[in-house]
Structure 1
Amino acid sequence: MRWIFALIIPALLVFPTFGQAAGESATAAKAIKVKSIKIIFPTSITKEKTKTIKKKVTTKKEDSNNTANSTKSDTSKKTNTSTSNSSQPTSVKSTNESVSSTPSATDSGILAVEREVVRLVNVEREKQGLKPLELDSKLSSIARKKSQDMKDKNYFSHQSPTYGSPFEMLKQFGVSYQTAGENIAAGQRSAQEVVDGWMNSKGHRENILNSSFTRIGVGYVSGGSYGSYWTQLFTG
């Protein structure tokens, strides 16, 4: 089974690298790749950018796995094992059922599994005393297009050959924002599995727990070379 993770974090223009996800067992069927990017558009972008470049000009590798974090709101990653970041409170029940090849959608067009990802994300934020993210149907539609594009074009990256960067994609679809971020993953079989994977990756976790974000969109598509593709888009 293949798993992939990637993320985009609001920050200054700095780009990530690749490495395998930490915690991957030696017997894993396939390697995991992780990539993360951050981007923020503050009024003091020049100052922030300089600070970020000094701090992360070179990409960091986490363990011997393909995991990377960059500072340009455009982080993506591939993984064969999940990248997760936080644990859920015992008072909240989580679903760990495998995703159906034909998941059902609600009246708003949001899939049940996508809503579950949002719920699990807000559980993690609540544990850190952060406000929950509001599920945005437009962001989810865009995120789903990104996942579909990765499946159809057989790639795994924040940079789409069709839409460009996540930020260019948001602009194309008329989404305005002050801060934006993206997490991507592939190969996970459930909402719990993909969120756990992101939470276990520093860069992806930072996106999920970013206090500047207020809205989230999740796009899930089954099939393709990895079996499943997941995209999270955040805006603030």
Structure 2
Amino acid sequence: MLDTVCQRPPRRIVARTLAFGISALVAAALLTWSPAVASGWNQGAAEGTLWQLLNGARANNGMAPLQQHSTLVGLARWRSADMLAQDYFSHTIAGCGCLVYTYYDSNGLSYVWAGENIGWNSGLDDNASAVRVHEAFMASSGHRANVLNRAFTHGGVGAAAADNQMFQGYVQNTRMYTELFLQAPAAAPAPAPAPAPAPAPAPAPA
């Protein structure tokens, strides 16, 4: 299970604009695995469970819920599917050597902070799989910090499954999960009202 966070200055939403930030990667050996045969896994239900647990954890700690962002959902689904398809587990994306924030930029996302949690497990049914990965995230300081980051305003989760195939040489029926986060730039302050015009001088008496 891995987490990453990225800080950068806010930027305008401009396609192909290149921006660089500092990323910190923290690895934690918290894979939740069971040899039982998986049954009944459903992508939408798994994602819905993980999203509810994520925002539930924030609410339980006095934080506002994240707003779901459709672009982050799409990227999270792609990240999970890509790791299974290319048989890797890393924040560094196979084939490009970049982090997911490169795809934030290419999709026109504007942000101040961003983060990513990734995790997988095997052999669990639909609801149990998402619950177990959330529990593992919350038991890891780096992943928990992303979930409970007060600065983050938007998020998206994505899940993918690989049935009846090996993952990294030894696990079958793997379920992969990605949580993506961002802090949207603050809205620009409203312009100050224009000063009231000076009153016209009263005409002098004749």
Q: TM tier, shorter chain?
A: 0.5 to 0.7
Q: Give the conservation status (yes or no) of the 8 Å contact 1:74–1:182.
A: no
Tell me how far apart the structure 2 counterparts of residues 222 and 149 of structure 1 sit (CA, whole Å): 11
Q: Say which structure is richer in strand.
A: 2
Q: Give the conservation status (yes or no) of the 8 Å contact 2:50–2:134.
A: yes
Q: Is the counterpart of residue 215 in structure 1 residue 176 in structure 2?
A: no
Alignment map for 1:225-236 (pairs within 5 Å): 225=167, 226=171, 227-236=174-183
Q: Give the conservation status (yes or no) of the 8 Å contact 2:118–2:178.
A: yes
Tell me how far apart the structure 2 counterparts of residues 199 and 99 of structure 1 sit (CA, whole Å): 25
Q: Give the conservation status (yes or no) of the 8 Å contact 1:77–1:185.
A: no
Alpha-carbon shift at residue 42 of structure 1 (Å): 4.3
Tell me how far apart the structure 1 counterparts of residues 39 and 108 of structure 2 sit (CA, whole Å): 30
- Partner residue in 2 for 1:123: 56
Q: Which runs of 5+ in 1 are unaligned?
A: 9-37, 44-70, 83-97, 105-110
Tell me how far apart the structure 1 counterparts of residues 31 and 71 of structure 2 sit (CA, whole Å): 29
TM-score (norm. length: structure 2)? 0.67
Tell me how far apart the structure 2 counterparts of residues 99 and 205 of structure 1 sit (CA, whole Å): 28
Q: Which runs of 5+ in 2 are unaligned?
A: 11-21, 184-206
Alignment map for 1:43-54 (pairs within 5 Å): none
Aligned residue type for 1:7: D
Amino-acid identity (%): 31
From 2, 6, 29, the counterpart of 1:6? 2
Q: Larger radius of gyration, structure 1 or 2?
A: 2
Output the aligned Cα RMSD: 2.3
Alpha-carbon shift at residue 137 of structure 1 (Å): 2.0
Q: Is the counterpart of residue 169 in structure 1 residue 103 in structure 2?
A: yes
Aligned pairs, number:
154
Q: Give the conservation status (yes or no) of the 8 Å contact 1:75–1:182.
A: no
Aligned residue type for 1:231: T
Alpha-carbon shift at residue 215 of structure 1 (Å): 0.8
Tell me how far apart the structure 2 counterparts of residues 76 and 231 of structure 1 sit (CA, whole Å): 15
